[in-house]
Amino acid sequence: MAIAIPFFQQVTGINVIAFYAPILSRTIGLGESASLLSAVMTGIVAQLGDHGGLGKEFAYLVLILICVYVAGFGWSWGPLGWLVPSEICPSDIRSAGQSITVAVNFLFTFIVAQTFLAMLCHFKAGIFFFFGGWVVVMTVFMYLFLPETRNIPIEQMDKVWREHWFWKRMVGEVSGKSKIEGP
């Protein structure tokens, strides 16, 4: 999960919106000034979220939908991509789990940012469906494989992993302590 969560967080496309907002805005038909303004607007929406060619009408609709997306991300996966990994790792491996989470997040930020322009040229408007498809995959994956951590002290997370329908096959008992079994 320390790998899956940051991977999914990045393939939602959030950093693409942040990095390439002016280019995206120009691609959907907004002028240069409007493109820069849209970048400012999505940045503002992102900050608020953390705290709590078919015509101009189409371009503005897409801009509004991007703002809704950025706000939704800021109220969900933005903070949860960092919070959940810190809650799901037992305390004896929490530091290692967080280190893996940060490294994977940076790696996939780099990969997505470096491949985006080529994908935009190839997929065009389909790029939104590409990232949307990853959101669907992420949602199903998290629903099936992420154990519930509500009201569970971090000291008891090893028990949660041992009782999860899928992960219990990979976590074993050794002298009353859990351990990850090798292949």
Torsion angle (degrees, nearest 10) of CA 110, 113, 119, 125: 140
Q: What is the pTM of this model?
A: 0.75
Among residues 143, 14, 116, 10, the alpha carbon closest in space to that of 71 is found at 14
Q: How far is CA 169 from CA 52, 84, 90, 102, in A?
A: 38, 22, 17, 26
Q: Per residue in 32-54, pLDDT tens? A: 655 555 566 656 655 555 555 44
Q: Per residue in 118-153, pLDDT tens? A: 998 898 878 889 998 999 999 999 999 999 888 888
